[in-house]
Protein backbone atom coordinates (compact mmCIF):
# COMPACT_ATOMS: atom_id res chain seq x y z
CA UNK A 1 0.00 0.00 0.00
CA UNK A 2 1.27 3.46 -0.89
CA UNK A 3 2.61 5.54 1.94
CA UNK A 4 2.79 2.68 4.42
CA UNK A 5 5.98 1.91 6.26
CA UNK A 6 7.74 -1.28 5.07
CA UNK A 7 7.49 -4.27 7.36
CA UNK A 8 10.32 -6.68 8.22
CA UNK A 9 10.15 -10.17 6.77
CA UNK A 10 7.99 -12.39 8.98
CA UNK A 11 10.05 -15.52 8.47
CA UNK A 12 13.18 -13.66 9.60
CA UNK A 13 11.38 -12.33 12.66
CA UNK A 14 10.54 -15.87 13.68
CA UNK A 15 13.73 -17.74 12.85
CA UNK A 16 16.58 -15.39 13.75
CA UNK A 17 15.15 -13.49 16.68
CA UNK A 18 17.61 -11.96 19.15
CA UNK A 19 16.31 -11.76 22.73
CA UNK A 20 16.52 -8.50 24.68
CA UNK A 21 19.21 -8.18 27.39
CA UNK A 22 16.54 -8.13 30.11
CA UNK A 23 14.32 -11.24 29.90
CA UNK A 24 11.52 -9.40 31.71
CA UNK A 25 11.57 -6.50 29.25
CA UNK A 26 8.71 -6.19 26.77
CA UNK A 27 9.33 -4.10 23.68
CA UNK A 28 6.58 -1.64 22.77
CA UNK A 29 6.75 -1.66 18.96
CA UNK A 30 5.99 1.64 17.26
CA UNK A 31 2.68 1.52 15.37
CA UNK A 32 2.78 1.42 11.59
CA UNK A 33 1.44 4.81 10.37
CA UNK A 34 -2.30 4.64 9.89
CA UNK A 35 -2.61 1.39 11.87
CA UNK A 36 -2.65 2.77 15.42
CA UNK A 37 -6.35 2.01 15.99
CA UNK A 38 -7.38 -1.23 14.32
CA UNK A 39 -11.07 -1.97 14.96
CA UNK A 40 -11.95 -5.26 16.63
CA UNK A 41 -15.08 -7.37 16.20
CA UNK A 42 -16.17 -10.11 18.59
CA UNK A 43 -17.22 -13.40 16.99
CA UNK A 44 -18.45 -16.87 17.97
CA UNK A 45 -20.39 -15.66 20.98
CA UNK A 46 -17.57 -13.44 22.19
CA UNK A 47 -15.06 -16.29 22.46
CA UNK A 48 -13.04 -14.97 19.51
CA UNK A 49 -12.07 -11.56 18.20
CA UNK A 50 -11.41 -10.44 14.61
CA UNK A 51 -8.99 -7.81 13.32
CA UNK A 52 -8.73 -6.62 9.70
CA UNK A 53 -5.07 -5.91 8.94
CA UNK A 54 -4.19 -4.89 5.38
CA UNK A 55 -7.19 -6.91 4.20
CA UNK A 56 -6.10 -9.97 6.20
CA UNK A 57 -8.58 -11.20 8.80
CA UNK A 58 -6.98 -12.27 12.08
CA UNK A 59 -9.37 -14.32 14.21
CA UNK A 60 -7.92 -15.29 17.56
CA UNK A 61 -9.26 -16.06 21.02
CA UNK A 62 -10.64 -13.00 22.77
CA UNK A 63 -7.84 -12.93 25.35
CA UNK A 64 -5.59 -11.30 22.71
CA UNK A 65 -6.44 -7.64 23.15
CA UNK A 66 -5.51 -4.38 21.41
CA UNK A 67 -3.27 -2.67 20.75
CA UNK A 68 -2.63 -5.01 17.83
CA UNK A 69 -0.24 -3.87 15.13
CA UNK A 70 1.67 -5.44 12.23
CA UNK A 71 5.38 -6.01 12.90
CA UNK A 72 6.40 -8.21 9.97
CA UNK A 73 5.31 -9.88 6.75
CA UNK A 74 6.46 -12.75 4.59
CA UNK A 75 5.37 -15.49 2.25
CA UNK A 76 2.98 -16.88 4.86
CA UNK A 77 1.26 -13.61 5.73
CA UNK A 78 1.55 -10.91 8.35
CA UNK A 79 2.85 -11.12 11.92
CA UNK A 80 1.23 -8.83 14.49
CA UNK A 81 1.88 -7.97 18.09
CA UNK A 82 -0.93 -8.20 20.63
CA UNK A 83 -1.47 -8.31 24.37
CA UNK A 84 -2.37 -11.59 26.07
CA UNK A 85 -4.75 -10.25 28.72
CA UNK A 86 -4.45 -13.43 30.82
CA UNK A 87 -0.66 -13.20 31.23
CA UNK A 88 -0.26 -9.45 30.54
CA UNK A 89 2.46 -10.38 28.04
CA UNK A 90 2.90 -8.87 24.58
CA UNK A 91 3.27 -11.63 21.98
CA UNK A 92 3.84 -11.96 18.24
CA UNK A 93 0.86 -13.53 16.48
CA UNK A 94 1.63 -15.36 13.24
CA UNK A 95 -1.17 -16.39 10.91
CA UNK A 96 -0.42 -19.21 8.49
CA UNK A 97 -3.23 -18.91 5.97
CA UNK A 98 -4.47 -21.97 4.08
CA UNK A 99 -2.03 -24.09 6.06
CA UNK A 100 -3.30 -27.39 4.67
CA UNK A 101 -3.60 -26.52 0.98
CA UNK A 102 -0.04 -27.65 0.31
CA UNK A 103 1.31 -30.86 1.84
CA UNK A 104 4.92 -29.59 1.96
CA UNK A 105 3.93 -26.33 3.67
CA UNK A 106 1.73 -28.23 6.14
CA UNK A 107 4.66 -30.47 7.08
CA UNK A 108 6.93 -27.44 7.44
CA UNK A 109 4.45 -25.79 9.80
CA UNK A 110 4.12 -28.96 11.88
CA UNK A 111 7.91 -29.33 12.04
CA UNK A 112 8.33 -25.72 13.18
CA UNK A 113 5.79 -26.18 15.96
CA UNK A 114 7.24 -29.51 17.13
CA UNK A 115 10.84 -28.26 17.15
CA UNK A 116 10.16 -24.97 18.91
CA UNK A 117 8.00 -26.65 21.56
CA UNK A 118 10.91 -28.99 22.34
CA UNK A 119 13.35 -26.10 22.70
CA UNK A 120 13.79 -24.19 25.93
CA UNK A 121 16.67 -21.82 25.30
CA UNK A 122 17.06 -18.10 25.89
CA UNK A 123 18.47 -17.58 22.39
CA UNK A 124 15.71 -19.39 20.51
CA UNK A 125 12.31 -17.75 20.11
CA UNK A 126 9.66 -19.56 22.16
CA UNK A 127 6.12 -20.56 21.26
CA UNK A 128 3.70 -19.17 23.85
CA UNK A 129 0.45 -20.57 22.48
CA UNK A 130 -1.13 -22.56 19.67
CA UNK A 131 -4.45 -20.79 19.23
CA UNK A 132 -7.35 -23.23 18.76
CA UNK A 133 -9.74 -22.61 15.85
CA UNK A 134 -13.40 -21.67 16.47
CA UNK A 135 -14.50 -24.93 14.82
CA UNK A 136 -12.00 -27.73 15.28
CA UNK A 137 -13.54 -29.93 12.59
CA UNK A 138 -13.48 -27.27 9.86
CA UNK A 139 -10.59 -24.82 9.68
CA UNK A 140 -7.75 -23.98 7.31
CA UNK A 141 -5.71 -21.27 9.09
CA UNK A 142 -3.20 -21.79 11.89
CA UNK A 143 -2.38 -19.10 14.47
CA UNK A 144 0.75 -19.29 16.60
CA UNK A 145 1.68 -16.91 19.42
CA UNK A 146 5.43 -16.44 19.81
CA UNK A 147 7.59 -14.69 22.36
CA UNK A 148 7.84 -11.06 21.23
CA UNK A 149 11.42 -9.98 20.56
CA UNK A 150 12.89 -6.49 20.43
CA UNK A 151 14.46 -7.10 17.04
CA UNK A 152 16.04 -9.76 14.82
CA UNK A 153 19.31 -10.26 12.96
CA UNK A 154 17.77 -9.11 9.69
CA UNK A 155 16.87 -5.75 11.23
CA UNK A 156 20.26 -5.39 12.91
CA UNK A 157 22.18 -6.07 9.70
CA UNK A 158 20.08 -3.60 7.68
CA UNK A 159 20.15 -0.92 10.38
CA UNK A 160 22.19 2.27 9.87
CA UNK A 161 23.25 2.15 13.50
CA UNK A 162 27.01 1.79 13.97
CA UNK A 163 27.92 -1.46 15.72
CA UNK A 164 30.96 -1.84 17.94
CA UNK A 165 33.21 -4.88 18.05
CA UNK A 166 31.52 -5.83 21.32
CA UNK A 167 28.14 -5.77 19.56
CA UNK A 168 29.46 -8.14 16.89
CA UNK A 169 30.89 -10.49 19.50
CA UNK A 170 27.73 -10.57 21.62
CA UNK A 171 25.40 -11.00 18.65
CA UNK A 172 27.57 -13.75 17.15
CA UNK A 173 27.65 -15.57 20.48
CA UNK A 174 23.86 -15.38 20.86
CA UNK A 175 23.40 -16.61 17.30
CA UNK A 176 25.79 -19.55 17.67
CA UNK A 177 24.27 -20.62 21.00
CA UNK A 178 20.80 -20.59 19.47
CA UNK A 179 21.93 -22.52 16.38
CA UNK A 180 23.72 -25.08 18.56
CA UNK A 181 20.48 -25.73 20.45
CA UNK A 182 18.54 -26.04 17.19
CA UNK A 183 21.08 -28.54 15.85
CA UNK A 184 20.84 -30.67 19.00
CA UNK A 185 17.05 -30.87 18.78
CA UNK A 186 17.12 -31.50 15.02
CA UNK A 187 19.54 -34.41 15.47
CA UNK A 188 17.28 -35.87 18.16
CA UNK A 189 14.28 -35.51 15.85
CA UNK A 190 16.14 -37.22 12.99
CA UNK A 191 17.16 -40.11 15.26
CA UNK A 192 13.54 -40.70 16.27
CA UNK A 193 12.44 -40.57 12.63
CA UNK A 194 15.07 -43.14 11.65
CA UNK A 195 14.05 -45.40 14.54
CA UNK A 196 10.39 -45.28 13.56
CA UNK A 197 11.31 -46.05 9.97
CA UNK A 198 13.38 -49.07 11.05
CA UNK A 199 10.51 -50.38 13.18
CA UNK A 200 8.15 -49.98 10.23
CA UNK A 201 10.53 -51.91 7.96
CA UNK A 202 10.74 -54.77 10.51
CA UNK A 203 6.98 -55.37 10.49
CA UNK A 204 5.84 -58.58 8.76
CA UNK A 205 4.68 -57.98 5.21
Please give the annotated binding residues, written as ranges. 94
Contacts of 57 (CB under 8 A, 6+ apart): 50, 51
Rounded Cα distance between 106 and 84, Å, is 26
**What DSSP letter does each residue of the chain carry, written as one string?**
-TTPPP--BHHHHHHSEE--SSTT----PPPPTT-SS--EEEETTTTEEEEEETTEEEEEETTEEEEEEEEEEETTEEEEEEEETTTTEEEEEEEETTTTSSHHHHHHHHHHHHHHHH---TTS--EEEEEPPSSTTS---EEEEEEPPSEEHHHHHH--S---HHHHHHHHHHHHHHHHHHHHHHHHHHHHHHHHHHHHHHS--
Q: Which residues are annotated as a binding site for ATP?
A: 94
State how far Cα 30 lies from the chain centre: 18
Amino acid sequence: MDGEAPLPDADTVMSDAVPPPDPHHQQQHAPVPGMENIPATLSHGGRFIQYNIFGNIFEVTAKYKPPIMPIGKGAYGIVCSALNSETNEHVALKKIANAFDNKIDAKRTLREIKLLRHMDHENVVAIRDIIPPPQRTAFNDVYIAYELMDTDLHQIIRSNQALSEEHYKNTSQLYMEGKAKQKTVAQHDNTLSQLLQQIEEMKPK
